[in-house]
Amino acid sequence: MDKTDEIRRINLEISVKLSKIELQLSQAKSMTGLFETLIAGIEKEFAVPFVWLTLIENADTAPIIEAAKSSDLLKNKLNVISRGLFERLIPAGVQPVLVNRELHPYYKLFPPAHKYFVKSLALIPFRIGDEIAGSWNNGDAIPDRYRPDMDTALLQKLAQKLSLQLTKLVADLKK
């Protein structure tokens, strides 16, 4: 098997795992359930040791923050920061950011009660409607788990599905 075939095989495996998570996200009936499903799915399907949420503090994310704080699974996997700080750390809009060097600035995304021993990060922004609401973050102690030169299309696709379901749930709350 040549390198191209190996990459295709790996991408197919990743795609199948992400599709399982996407299906579960589309069935979430609450914001708590949505994010618990996301975090548990990423941890289980990909054996990511550190998964957490960073939310931008504003009126749109207030119900998500409240829901996360009420969840035993999410309350310790949550950090809330200002829009300005978020945009300085993740300036690419909805593009995932992969880093494995000079991680210190990204520590501001970590939950305040937890410090993770990470050597690489995947920071995946999600939206409510057209506005960035925050990111789900994957961290690993393996330096090459997430590298800036990796393709992020599959992560971005999952973030789009997450954003669509989140937007729907927020709209349902406003009814």
Q: In the chain, pLDDT over 70 holds for what percent of residues?
A: 99
- The larger pLDDT score, comparing residue 112 to residue 127, is at 127
Whether residue 143 has pLDDT greater than 90: yes
Contacts of 135 (CB under 8 A, 6+ apart): 53, 54, 86, 90, 109, 123, 124, 125, 126
Instruction: Give residue 8's pLDDT.
Output: 85
Instruction: Give residue 1's pLDDT.
Output: 62
Q: Is 125 within 8 Å of 159 (Cβ atoms)? A: yes
The tally of domains found in the chain comes to: 1
Domain containing 78 — which CATH number? 3.30.450.40
| 18-51: pLDDT as tens digits | 999 999 999 999 999 999 999 999 999 999 999 9
How does DSSP classify residue 107?
A: G
- Tell me which residue range forms the domain holding 84: 3-174
Closest CA to 145 of 1, 35, 14, 54: 14
Rounded distance between C-alpha atoms, residue 16 and residue 22, angstroms: 10
Mean pLDDT of all residues in 56-79: 94
Rounded distance between C-alpha atoms, residue 112 and residue 2, angstroms: 45
Closest CA to 122 of 95, 148, 146, 158: 146
